[in-house]
A and B are shown apart, each in its own frame.
Chain A
Amino acid sequence: MTSARHYSVPGVPGLAVGVLDLGLACCSMEIGAAITAGLLVPADNTPSEAAVLLVSGTVTDAMAPAVLAAWNALPEPRRAVSFGACANTGGPYWDAPTVLKGIDQVIPIEVYVPGCPPRPEALIAGLAELVIR
């Protein structure tokens, strides 16, 4: 996963763990927007310290095993967030035969963030939902 990076979330104090970002499509641009706005701060954690998997973007059948491998590589306790319409339901591509109808077909998702793409604020609100839960 060359796109995998780790972040801390200053706006969500209870979320001290790293976030492993799996940016598969354009939604990952919003991760960059969140960094620019200071909502996400890149951290130097090793991948094993990340406990939140952030899946953003269209998951194709070909990409699904890689997402599953990234999920299986995370140590317990681990949690997954689906970011954006594609990861939630397949989004505009739900009718395509090679696109997953939501990443929850492959890994268990705790929080679904709606939007195409969701705003960076929605990302932080979604991560905060993890803490409330």
Chain B
Amino acid sequence: MPSNAHSLIGLNPDACTSCMICVRECPVWCIDLASHTHEVTEEGARRPKVVHVLDEFTIDFGACMYCGICVDVCPFDALAWSNETDQSAHSASGLVHGIDQLVKWFPASGS
């Protein structure tokens, strides 16, 4: 396969801020994201700030077009092309991958 062939997409959950840009920009809406807010009080701060905590992030590769728009629009480089090639599954739900699997596909050096 050529090295520039589109393949799987990996996620770095530590970089993800649950901003939902990838979810909204995905042409096929194959990304599912769930998060909750968490109040953080920093020392010396005038008021507590609210941060988003990522709970779930799934990509349905059964619908994914591998267009890479999510990779392009992510402001925090939390999504990146993986070196792994896509693989077929024995059920449609077997193509839906969550954080646990997407982390493994995030390239070590970033995209």
Secondary structure type dominating chain B contacts:
loop
| CB-based contact B85/A112 at 8 Å | no
A57 proximal to B (CB < 8 A) = no
CB < 8 Å neighbour of B94 from A112, A119, A126: A112
A129 proximal to B (CB < 8 A) = yes
- A-side interface residues, number (CB < 8 Å): 27
| CB-based contact B95/A122 at 8 Å | no
Of the candidate stretches A2-10, A62-70, A89-97, the one touching chain B is: A89-97
Within 8 A of B (CB), among A82-133: 82, 85, 88-92, 94-95, 102, 104, 109-116, 118-119, 121-122, 125-126, 129, 133
| CB-based contact A114/B1 at 8 Å | no
| CB-based contact A110/B90 at 8 Å | yes
| CB-based contact A122/B60 at 8 Å | no
Secondary structure type dominating chain A contacts:
mixed
| CB-based contact A112/B66 at 8 Å | no
| CB-based contact A89/B62 at 8 Å | yes
In the assembled complex, how far is the CB of residue B5 from the closest CB belonging to chain A, in whole angstroms?
6
For B62, B65, B88, B95, which residue has the most chain A Cβ atoms within 10 angstroms?
B88
| CB-based contact B95/A114 at 8 Å | yes
B75 proximal to A (CB < 8 A) = no
| CB-based contact A112/B86 at 8 Å | no
Please give, as numbers and ranges, the residues of chain A lying within 8 Å of B64 by CB-CB distance. Answer: 85, 114, 116
In the assembled complex, how far is the CB of residue B95 from the closest CB belonging to chain A, in whole angstroms?
5
B40 proximal to A (CB < 8 A) = no
| CB-based contact A88/B65 at 8 Å | no
In the assembled complex, how far is the CB of residue B102 from the closest CB belonging to chain A, in whole angstroms?
14
| CB-based contact B94/A122 at 8 Å | no
CA distance A102 to B87 in the complex (A): 18
B45 proximal to A (CB < 8 A) = no
Give 10 nearest A-B pairs by CB, closest first.
A116-B65, A88-B62, A126-B88, A89-B62, A114-B61, A89-B63, A113-B88, A92-B28, A111-B88, A112-B89
